[in-house]
Structures are given as structure tokens and as C-alpha cells.
Structure 1
Amino acid sequence: MNDQSKFIAGLLLGAAAGAALAYLLTSDKGKELVSEFKSAAAAAGEDVKATAQQLETELNEAVEKGRQWASDLQSKANSFTS
């Protein structure tokens, strides 16, 4: 494929992408589709946020259990050395 053919292919691809974008931004069906994409993205973001909060809670609980275990172990070790 020579340079001129590559240029024409790129030009056609760019025109097709531009036409698709214009359709999405101007037609009622396109606007509805964009709205659905936004809603889906927002829902996914909320799911990620909820999962992150749950993981934070579980991690904090695990850290607290680890601290309690270490404290108990230290108390037992101190009772053996006293």
C-alpha cells in the first residue's frame, strides 16, 4: 500500500468516525444512547465506590484483629518472662 492509499484510507476512516460522532451528538436516538452510556458509567462508578468502602471496612477489621492478636501474644510472652 503506497502513501497515497494510506492517506485516503485514513481520510475515509476519519470521515466515518466523524459521521458516527455527529450522529451520536445530534440525533434523538444518539442522544438516548449517550444518556444510557452515562447512566451505565455512573452505576459502574457507584459499584466500584461501594466495593472499595466494603474492602476498607474488612481491611480495618483484619488490622484490628491482628493488633489484638499481637497484644495477646505480647501479654502471654510477658507472663512467661515475669
Structure 2
Amino acid sequence: MPTKRDLLDLQFMDARCKLIDLAAFLDRIERHEGEPDFRLAAFREALPILLSEKPNRARAVLEALSDQTPEPIEAATIQGAFGAPQV
């Protein structure tokens, strides 16, 4: 079984790159005009989950960015998903 050090050696640079990508994404959002929508709000609400020390953070982030509505919508207005629940 790998140690924490082994995992850091193998995956730190990839995780570092993803974190920098997230920071750049937020910088781009802040530089542009207009009002953000529900997706940015959901994204910001999910960020503290990353810093928590609770187990299953990936699941918690996925659930925070998922529509928990139990009833299906009558008809789709687009082909695809928004990636965050609309509130």
C-alpha cells in the first residue's frame, strides 16, 4: 500500500496544476463584466469542502454541484447539463 509520501510523489504536480487552473478560472470570472449566475454560487459553496478534513470530499463536492430535485422536469430546455443545481 502506498504511503502519503508515495501519493504526493505521484500526484502532487497534477493536483497543483488543477488548483492553479481553478485559481485562473476564478480570476477570469472576476475580470469580466456582468452578473454571475447560480453556477458560480454553487462553485464557491463547494470550495470549502476541499479544505475540510472530512472523508469523502469528492462525493460531497459532486453532491453539492448536483441537482437534488427528486422529480424530473417536464421537458429539457437544452441538450446537456449545467453542472450545478439551479436555485
TM-score (norm 1): 0.33
Bigger CA radius of gyration: 1
TM-score (norm 2): 0.31
The structure showing larger relative contact order (alpha-carbon pairs under 8 Å, at least 6 residues apart) is 2
Give 1 or 2: higher helix fraction: 1
